[in-house]
Structure 1
């Protein structure tokens, strides 16, 4: 993945970005080592299994060969009535040595009657070698053969196969002697050594190639991870405009796409936060400036009469109340943003709306506004009493505040299929079409001068929207035909154990 160039970061950020991980803790080294471990295990198997299989094959071949050769010799000797040294030598001189290194023939007591290492000299007429000191074949193979067993032993060491075999000589059902043969095979040993050497050379080439390939692929993978890590560090320093350009269609590319989506949301959130802080600072600054101006006027005017002083103090109190409302609304929004929804109950929407209207009747009477309500029964939702009361109170209060004298407000609760609808309409100043999508934004006011005069903070509708969403509902605003505004809130109907009253059942109204 390629990185888009973002804003320059300072030297301290660069220093943090250059901080690396320990060599053996890096993913690149771990990936390379994991590849090498796998290759090493495969090569270890490659260097052992073929050699061991070849050894077993050669051992089997030599066992069959030596047993066959020793059986041929034993068959030739079993025709002799008695085994004597001269007779055995004559028979053995007629036989081929078959490429064996040594052949021994013994009598039943293990006395050597023929030894190819010495008796060949006698038959050729050459000078006889010195008589051996021991003439008994003290070999376990010979002892086992004299007991009537066929014996074979073979081992490989120093590039030489050494194999021995012994068979009994049986005549008329009796063991009359034993044949012992010995073979040393350097040629097969050299072939096996050559195989081992070739496998070692191939393994060395494979290891070198695997090292290069593993470093290459691990570098490719860790380079993309390093780019992602660098991007996280940059964004962590506040550069929310930093983006990655995903390359390919694998999991790393998907991770880069998710990173870009995350930074988009972070950037949007940061912009909203900054705008919110800016708006909040501006809203708080206005009443504070008014309080400061009024207090300075009081302090600088030593001859101020009591009535004027009372008016100034009243204005200071009004601005303080406005500050209190703003801070309370800000705290309410903060709680909505940070805290999960509390435990909900089954709430009668109509009853809560009527309670909110009753609380606002004195305000409406003072403004010359009439409030009419229309509540349908069995309009229950899952919510909290306080949250639903705040929603109804804010909507009705806004309808009263931004209305004309002798105007009216209509508040109703109805059911529409599986939804409960709360509708609050007024005959007031209305909302321009272009401002409708913005009325739920924090600190947004259509008529700022009228809002301040009415004591508005620009946060009431934001609180309504966030509270409604916390309980799975929705809220809309639109212009009312004939002037004014119409706000609609929808919640999922909580049926519970609903039972329609008898009067409604007779009219055909279904719960």
Structure 2
């Protein structure tokens, strides 16, 4: 952006008003003085011609094919008389005439030698010389390409510091306004996309203000797209909730009927009823889990908020899960630390505000999964650490683990892998989905990683209450 501003400035300096005037530096003035001295001297013409050529070549290497824009032979210097004609009685170049007139508008003490840029030619002058008793105004003419980088210095010398300050301030304000105008709608769309990703309804078009450009139409299309996406998601949530409710009522009637049949049938036939009852109970649990997911998706939690001590919560979960762990001879390895330093429960309890039973169920489900998929006589590692104002709970098992490509899918409802998380090991693929939504209901995050050398590592991050 800065380079564009500088380029624009010098392009403006070179192109304004057709002919631009700039201050000549000392080297150019010195060449003009020497050239005037040589032209006024009485040295022989051949020698004078060689000296003049040498002085003119001091600007840049000679260019033998230089041509004036009018296709007339290019002249390296001009001697202009009072009638504004050269020694060949031809009308002087427009830039030379402008330099002569420009000179008379300046104050006393003004340096007469200036640079005028017209098209691709540079005219330097005027410098009075006396030849054969007649006064002429001396001008040097060069192609701008022969000056190369020196032209930048001439422009810098000819522009006062306040012109630079004013120009850059104005261009800076213009660039800032342009950048703000371009980035603001992008930020609006970015913010709207994040809200849509979190399932929050929003309108990007309303935040575009009065503008009716391409960004406005893009925001309009974005709102239409997001509206359809949210409607589809809400329809799925509603369908999940409605189906679960509709299934629970007939399932309850089936369970009641089975209870009555069990009393009427004999012992030999009762085992079939028990099998049906177990399947009905399993289906009832599944429907309950679906209802929990639907409620969490809508942000509904049927429980009062309270202050939860994470240390006590983890201890309670491990006590309840110890029976299953004992059956498989699985040991718990527990690590608790604050910013890398171990602590005792009594000294630091890591408190947060949330729903005790919901959070208990979410963490317990992950712990029980770790026990279920770990081999007998294995180990389940559980760590509770505080990092800044955040609690981090990590639960790692020693099971067969999950493929790298499935790590993001295990928190989706009904997802099961073909290996460790198979149907034969129990569950319908709803436990981790409920845990994920329960953690998010507490403003937290949950993720899964591969536990090296084998197994699955689930990491939960929860915001803590600010101390003090």
TM bucket by the smaller chain? 0.3 to 0.5
| Bigger-Rg structure (1/2) | 1
TM-score (norm 1): 0.41
TM-score (norm 2): 0.44
Whose helix proportion is higher, 1 or 2? 1
RCO comparison, higher one (Cα < 8 Å, 6+): 1
